[in-house]
Amino acid sequence: MSQSQENLSIDLRSLQFRREREKDWKLLQELIERVEKSGAKALNDDELIALPVLYRTTLSSLSMARAISLDLDLVQYLENLTTRAYFFVYGTRSSFMQRISGFFSDDWPRAVQKLGAETLVSFLAVFLSAVCAYVLVINDPSWFSAFMAADLSDGRNPEASVEFLREGLYSGSLRDGLSSFATFLFTHNSRIAILAFALGFAFGLPTLFLLVTNGFMLGAFIAVYVPNGLGFEMGGWLFIHGSTELFAIILAGAAGFHIGWKIAFPEDLSRLQAATEAGRTAATVVIGVVIMLFIAGLIEGFGRQLIKIDLIRYIIAILMLAMWLAYFYLPRKLEPE
């Protein structure tokens, strides 16, 4: 058979192939164009039911066109059409605002609830290390320098006077040393939160180290104020934003532990599969952690500078903590996975 005859044969087969199936392709194309222009609401119930059937029919046509070596233009047309249809049939059809709403109403709290044991371990790592540093510094102030660098404390150490310490708790000046230290704490804690998650793949050990280090710093800092009769005042200064910020760090640590534990104990999955599965949950938590840190930064930057009454500081801290606990852990109906 000559080349011209072979080309003619292909053209005839393509023409016959088109005539038998083109009606379905055009209908699918029409439905997809309407969906792309106006969304799923542009289709009625019958069309929504018909669309997956038309998609599978067109996909079958594509397989046949490839198998019998029909002309390239036809194959490319069917590839393009089935690709566009695939994203509607199997992809997400929710709007951007629906996805945002779904994250806050379902995805984030569900992910946090999955990390219950890891969150408890993360909390204990921070709390126990803070208690340990506090006890050591209270009984021997020389321990303070082991937990807190001198340039960071800016003179607020066990040797500082009561007046000096008290002034920093209520000074509204952004140039105040304690305000500078607060800015450092926020930057430091944000970095700790991200690293605690990112380094979780090493079986959670770097995560544990970061949480303990942060707890040591917190405990040593508290131990400076309590012996001077300023524990209550310092607690209001610290926890007005710390109830959100420290909670964020604990959740980030939990996310890191979740990945590390799944890699160490993958159960029936391969370690790569376990890490991938755990990473989805942990990443959802950490996206929320970034939001929590942003909120903590706003409170730290404005609320603490403007609010000088200890009781109001504590009320805000308790309300924020109660809000986060209720949001994450109060029983409510979540969408099925």
**What per-residue confidence (pLDDT) applies to 96?**
64
pLDDT band per the 50, 70, 90 thresholds, residue 174: very low
Weakest mean pLDDT among 41-50, 92-101, 237-246:
92-101
Mean pLDDT on 124-142: 96
Mean pLDDT of the chain: 84
Q: Measured between alpha carbons, how far is residue 259 from residues 115, 125, 282 in Å?
A: 10, 17, 7
The gap between the terminal CA atoms of the chain, to the nearest Å, is 59
**What per-residue confidence (pLDDT) applies to 8?**
45
**What per-residue confidence (pLDDT) applies to 247?**
96
Q: Are 286 and 197 in contact (CB under 8 A)?
A: yes
> For residues 308, 213, 128 and 160, what is the CA-based torsion angle, rounded to 10 degrees?
-40
Mean pLDDT on 97-115: 89
**What per-residue confidence (pLDDT) applies to 123?**
97
Nearest to 241 by CA among 190, 285, 192: 190
**What per-residue confidence (pLDDT) applies to 151?**
64
Mean pLDDT on 242-267: 93
**What per-residue confidence (pLDDT) applies to 42?**
79
Q: Measured between alpha carbons, how far is residue 206 from residues 59, 210, 255, 272, 303 in Å?
A: 49, 6, 13, 20, 33
DSSP code at position 148: S
**What per-residue confidence (pLDDT) applies to 209?**
94
pLDDT band per the 50, 70, 90 thresholds, residue 181: low
pTM reported for the whole predicted model: 0.70
Q: At what angle do helices 231-264 and 310-329 cross, to 10 degrees?
A: 20
Nearest to 179 by CA among 133, 241, 269, 130: 241
- 209-231 residue pLDDT tens: 999 999 999 999 999 999 999 99
Mean pLDDT on 151-168: 83
**What per-residue confidence (pLDDT) applies to 253?**
94
Mean pLDDT on 256-267: 91
Using the predicted structure, report yes or no on whether residue 1 has a pLDDT greater than 50. Answer: no
- 35-72 residue pLDDT tens: 888 777 778 878 888 888 888 888 888 888 777 766 77
Where are the domains positioned within the chain?
3-93, 99-329
H/E element holding 23?
A: helix 3-38
- 9-23 residue pLDDT tens: 555 566 777 777 888
> For residues 168, 250, 292 and 310, what is the CA-based torsion angle, rounded to 10 degrees?
-30
Phi-psi region of 307 (alpha: psi -120 to 50; beta: other; left: phi over 0): beta
